[in-house]
Amino acid sequence: MGWLPWSSSTPETPKSSDGGRIAPDRSSRERCYEGRDLFFSCLDKNDILDSVKNDKEARRKCGKEIAEFESVCSRAWVKYFKEKRVMEYNRDKTIEKLKKEDQEQVAQMKARGWSPR
């Protein structure tokens, strides 16, 4: 889909008349988010977390979705969202782990006769 100016087929973002680079507007941002969500739900279905590291597998199993994703988002955004997915997963895991540890500690302390205020 080469009709989007910042799609992968044309790596340069369009220039404004005063020499700037035109940024995606609200509707193209929305399109990009939709493409991202479709691709990520396909990754979820196929149990792939890191589509940078497992690029080949992701492309094999979600070929259509990744092609769409890469055509509606700029290359920098694609990379950013792929990395963010892994980062958020790890963050949530860590929070979960800490919460669990916290609960266990509370349970232990309660067993020793401590009561929460």
Partner 1 sequence: MASTRFISRTLGRVPKAPINRSLTTSATQHIPLLRASQSTSQTQTFNGISNRTFTTTPLLRKGNTMGKIKTQNFTGISWNATLLFILTAAGLMVYFRVEKERLQRKQIREMSKGVGKPKVGGPFVLRDLDGKEVTEEDLKGRYSFVYFGFTHCPDICPDELDKMAAIIDRVKEETKSDKVFQPVFITCDPARDTPEVLRAYLKEFHPAIMGLTGTYEQVKHVCKQYRVYFSTPKDIKPGEDYLVDHSIYFYLMDPDGDFVECIGRQDTPESATKVIMDHINDWKREGKPLKNY
**22 contributes a contact to partner 1 by CB under 8 A:** yes
Long-range Cβ contacts of 91-98 (<8 Å, 24+ apart): none
- From the list 9, 20, 53, 91, which residue makes contact with partner 1 (rule: CB under 8 A)? 20
Containing 52, the helix (H) or strand (E) segment is none
Instruction: Please report how close the Cβ of residue 22 comes to partner 1 at its closest, in angstroms.
Output: 6
Calpha distance 58→28 (Å, rounded): 24
**Which range in 17-25, 46-54, 59-67, 96-104 contacts partner 1 by CB under 8 A?**
17-25
Smallest distance from partner 1 to CB 80, Å: 5
Other Cβ atoms closer than 10 A to 108:
10
Residues forming contacts to partner 1 in the complex (CB under 8 A) are 6, 11-13, 15-26, 29, 32-33, 74-77, 80-81
